[in-house]
């Protein structure tokens, strides 16, 4: 019953004095952040989760109202060992893919200041795949209850063992962040499978000019999926067909197998924020040599206004698979297997969001949000209509759906 333990450790925090970081002396400091959130889903045919790769319990079919989607708590210990050398460890508890809430180390790295405007970090870090990669877990840092799921579910490499460089040159009025990163990762996914990402090589390029921030990101990696269903059922079935009646199945193994598949995610982003108003938008494209990782285009645009402590906002986001929906090139068995696999990759949905953030107390923010999610089938194909929902009923998967969500959360940092 670990999950029930969480709210208890949360409570004392609400009464901690409002200091930013606790100085422990000798260069050590302790910081923390968290979210206590509730989501209600009007539809009981499938579960809404913040990320379908990492959560398998959500609001809707499992439980109409749940705290499991957004609630989390993180602690960070920093040690400034020397003038130019520091160490950081950050652990987070939240709903992980195995449904436990056991805290995990999300970041653990050494940082060296090579030059006044160049830092290098080595250890366990988060690859800067998206504009908000670095603070996806810190909802206090963002206006919304959670970053737009349609966009932030596309590339699921949450951490890596590796190295990155943070170079901040300045050219005239423009401040830059040039952040190349390299590493490898093993990411645990729902359903007991896991994904190896090797040879991760990426770049995060940000330019800041007055109220504008422009961002370009690109990452390339080699993916290998370790999945029981995949390794012991799907691939052997295709291999059997390949050896007996259907040579097309041989080709399907190499097209759909997820072994050493070169994959990439590229994105652009822009933010305009003058303090009173903001507009922010990102668009991304996922590609892979394996057709199991469907080619995907996703984007969002969000805008809001700040009236003292209140920040109302509106967001539109979308996720769209680009792959074919039906496989017809092989024998009837091969076609069935591959069509089912393609249906599973269907992640077509769009979301309209209205919400408000209320900075009611120093270091605390209260948020209310309404999401209307429209899932789409791909060409009416059965099983492709679930969007990014999980645990769908057959009915939910076979048709487009409209789902309303109501969320509320309290975010804090200390």
Partner 1 sequence: MRLSRKIVVISVLCSASIFAKADVVVIVSASSSISQLDGDQVSDIYLGKTATFPDGSQAVPLELENGSELRDEFHEKVTGKSKSQLKSYWSKMVFSGKGNPPKDVADVKEVLKLIGANPNMIGYIDKGSVDKTVKTVFAP
Site string for partner 1, 332-361 (x = CB under 8 A): ---------------------------x--
Window of 42-50, 145-153, 167-175, 374-382 that interacts with partner 1 by CB under 8 A: 167-175
Q: What is the CA radius of gyration of the chain?
A: 22
Angle at 194 between CA 193 and CA 195, to 5 degrees: 135
CB of 115 vs partner 1, minimal distance in Å: 9
CB of 354 vs partner 1, minimal distance in Å: 20
Which two three-digit tokens encode residue 24? 């422990």
Secondary structure class of 264 (helix, strand, coil) = strand
Dihedral sign for Cα 275, 149, 219, 95, please. positive
Distance of alpha carbon 333 from alpha carbon 353, whole angstroms: 42
Instruction: Find the binder of partner 1 among 117, 161, 220, 399 (CB under 8 A).
Output: 117
CB of 232 vs partner 1, minimal distance in Å: 39
CA-closest candidate to residue 118, choices 203, 171, 176, 161: 176
CB of 158 vs partner 1, minimal distance in Å: 13
Of 105 and 340, which CB lies nearer to partner 1 in the complex structure?
Answer: 105
Asked if 168 interacts with partner 1 (CB under 8 A), we say yes
Site string for partner 1, 173-212 (x = CB under 8 A): x-x--------------------------------x-x--
Instruction: Find the binder of partner 1 among 5, 9, 14, 20 (CB under 8 A).
Output: 20
Q: Which residues contact 254 (CB under 8 A, 6 or more apart)?
A: none
Strands (E), 189-331: 194-209, 212-226, 261-273, 277-288, 296-305, 310-321
Distance of alpha carbon 331 from alpha carbon 348, whole angstroms: 28
Q: Which residues are at the interface with partner 1 (CB under 8 A)?
A: 20-21, 31, 33, 74, 76, 88, 90, 107, 109, 111, 116-117, 121, 125-126, 134-135, 137-138, 140-142, 166, 168, 170, 173, 175, 208, 210, 274-275, 306, 309, 359, 362-363, 365, 413
């Amino acid at each position: 019953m670990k999950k029930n333990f969480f709210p208890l450790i949360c409570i004392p925090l609400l009464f901690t004095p409002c200091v930013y970081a606790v100085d422990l002396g000798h260069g050590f400091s302790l910081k923390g952040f968290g979210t206590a959130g509730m989501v209600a889903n009007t539809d009981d045919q499938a579960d809404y989760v913040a990320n379908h790769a990492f959560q398998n319990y959500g609001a809707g079919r499992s439980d109409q109202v749940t705290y499991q989607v957004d609630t989390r708590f993180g602690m960070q210990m920093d040690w400034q060992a020397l003038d130019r050398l520091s160490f950081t460890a950050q652990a987070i508890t939240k709903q992980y893919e195995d449904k436990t809430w056991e805290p995990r180390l999300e970041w653990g790295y050494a940082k060296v200041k090579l030059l006044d405007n160049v830092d290098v970090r080595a250890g366990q870090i988060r690859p800067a795949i998206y504009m908000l990669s670095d603070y996806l877990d810190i909802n206090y840092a963002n206006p919304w209850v959670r970053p737009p799921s349609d966009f932030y579910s596309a590339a699921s490499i949450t951490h890596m063992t590796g190295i990155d460089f943070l170079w901040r040159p300045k050219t005239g009025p423009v401040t830059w962040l040039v952040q190349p990163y390299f590493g490898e990762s093993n990411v645990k996914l729902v359903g007991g499978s896991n994904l190896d990402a090797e040879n991760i090589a990426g770049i995060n390029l940000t330019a800041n000019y007055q109220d504008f921030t422009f961002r370009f990101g690109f990452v390339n990696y080699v993916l290998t999926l370790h999945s029981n269903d995949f390794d012991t059922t799907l691939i052997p079935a295709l291999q059997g067909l390949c050896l007996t009646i259907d040579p097309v199945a041989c080709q399907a193994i190499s097209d759909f197998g997820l072994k050493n598949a070169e994959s990439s995610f590229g994105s652009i982003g822009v933010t305009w924020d003058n303090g009173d108003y903001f507009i922010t938008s990102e668009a991304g494209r996922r590609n892979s040599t394996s057709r199991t990782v469907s080619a995907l285009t996703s984007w969002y645009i969000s805008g809001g206004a700040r009236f003292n402590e209140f920040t109302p906002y509106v967001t539109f986001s979308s996720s769209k698979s680009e792959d074919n929906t039906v496989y017809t090139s092989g024998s009837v068995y091969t076609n069935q297997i591959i069509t089912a696999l393609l249906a599973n990759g269907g992640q077509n949905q769009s979301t309209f969001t209205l919400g408000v953030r209320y900075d009611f107390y120093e270091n605390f923010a209260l948020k209310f949000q309404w999401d209307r999610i429209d899932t789409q089938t791909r060409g009416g194909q059965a099983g492709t209509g679930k969007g990014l929902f999980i645990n769908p009923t057959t009915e939910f998967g076979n048709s487009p759906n409209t789902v309303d969500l109501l969320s509320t959360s309290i975010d804090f940092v200390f």
